[in-house]
Structure formats: C-alpha cells, structure tokens
A and B are shown apart, each in its own frame.
Chain A
Amino acid sequence: SQQGEEDPQALSIQEGENATMNCSYKTSINNLQWYRQNSGRGLVHLILIRSNEREKHSGRLRVTLDTSKKSSSLLITASRAADTASYFCATDGAGSYQLTFGKGTKLSVIP
C-alpha cells in the first residue's frame, strides 16, 4: 500500500501565488522527502526533512513535518510557470530505508 498520499491530486494557481501541497503517511518514518517530476522526465529531489525536524527551508520551498499527525506540507512561494510539475512525497519507514512514494500532486502555474 502507498505510504504517502498527497493532497490535493491537482492544483491550479496563478503565477506569483503560493502553492501548498500536503502529504499524509501511515507508519513511523526516518525521513520524508519531496521530489518534483516534470512531464516525461525523471524525478528530481527537492528537500529532505528528518523525523526529528519540524520545518526546513530551501529557496522558495518550505517543508513542515508533524509526526504526531503523520503529515507534511510543501509550500512553494511566489510560484513561477516553471514550477509546473508533479510533486511527490516519499517516506522511508523505521527499520527500512526503502522509499515509498505517494501518487503525487499535479501543479499547474498559469502565467
């Protein structure tokens, strides 16, 4: 079964707006990662947050992690048309470092 599930499945916003995507998971984790996939391409790593961290920033990206709720969010500020892509969260469970991916959020940023 999928460990991570993203919400919403699809999101359409105007350029310059912020985009927030959520991820929920079921079991204890070591790390949670976010990846981006442009159409027809492989996945690209964005950010990794460890289970003992609550928030992490990287450029226009902000990730939060709430282990009590088993959820994470990815915020992209001041979105650009180039941010149009699918975004996936991936978790590795306690005792296992294999990544399990959710089905992704498809983000469309309209110029």
Chain B
Amino acid sequence: DAGVIQSPRHEVTEMGQEVTLRCKPISGHDYLFWYRQTMMRGLELLIYFNNNVPIDDSGMPEDRFSAKMPNASFSTLKIQPSEPRDSAVYFCASTPWQGNEQFFGPGTRLTVL
C-alpha cells in the first residue's frame, strides 16, 4: 500500500485565493482526519470523518474552511478565501478503527502571501 497520499506537497498562493488540498486515505480505513501544524499552535485536529460522514468539525477555524469526503478514497479541505494566517502544514491521516494508531500523509505546506 502506498500509504496516505496528499497533494499538492507545496502550495503558494495569494491572499484571497481559493485553496484545495487533497487526500487519499489508505484503502479500508474508515476514519479520516485533517490536521493543521504550526509552530505556535502545534498539531491541531480540524475535522474527522467516519465512513465518509463528518463527525466532528469543531476544530475548523471558521467558515472559510470546508471539508468533504465524497467517497471512501478521497477527501478535500478547501479554504476560501485564504489568508496569510492560514499558512501552515496540513496533514491528512487515516485509521481503520478508533483508538488505533493513525497513519499520516506527508503533508501539504501551504504559504499564503
């Protein structure tokens, strides 16, 4: 298995632009998580899905952020409009069941100018 796949690996955009981050979880994993990592705040859970259904999005910073999981093999995290304070590394992770180890993707480094 190729592991969790994220794209793009790096994204540089200008303030106000829409940004879409993509994730392909490991096949058979029922849970998918989106995290954001910054020096100041560390690793924060944004949202997680179970069987493609969003379970808890309380970590999503504001309405500019949205996430979808249209099927078991694909999820997106969208920021519209983007702001410089959104600059961070965004990780996607998956796991076959709750309470188990999570498998992380390589992350997307987002820079908003």
Contacts and interface: CB of A to CB of B under 8 A. Distances in A.
Contact of B45 (A88, A99, A103): A99
A102 B104 contact: no
Q: Tell me if A's interface is mostly helix, strand, loop or mixed.
A: strand
A101 B43 CA distance: 6
Contact of B91 (A2, A43, A48): A43
B102 A41 contact: no
Chain B: number of interface residues, binned into ranges: 10 to 19
A31 B103 contact: no
A43 B42 contact: no
A18 to B, nearest CB: 24
Contacts of A44: 104
Interface in A30-75: 30-31, 33, 35, 41-45, 48
Contacts of B102: 43, 45, 99
Chain A: number of interface residues, binned into ranges: 20 to 34
Most B CB atoms within 10 A — which of A41, A88, A98?
A: A98
Contacts of B43: 43, 88, 101
Contacts of A42: 4, 91, 93, 104-107
Most A CB atoms within 10 A — which of B91, B101, B106?
A: B101
B56 A98 contact: yes
Contacts of A104: 42
Interface of A: 2, 30-31, 33, 35, 41-45, 48, 88, 92, 97-104
7 contacts: A41-B107, A42-B105, A44-B104, A97-B98, A97-B99, A99-B33, A99-B45
Ranked nearest first, the 9 interchain pairs of A and B with the lowest CB-CB distance are: A42-B104, A97-B98, A45-B101, A101-B43, A103-B42, A43-B104, A42-B106, A97-B99, A42-B107
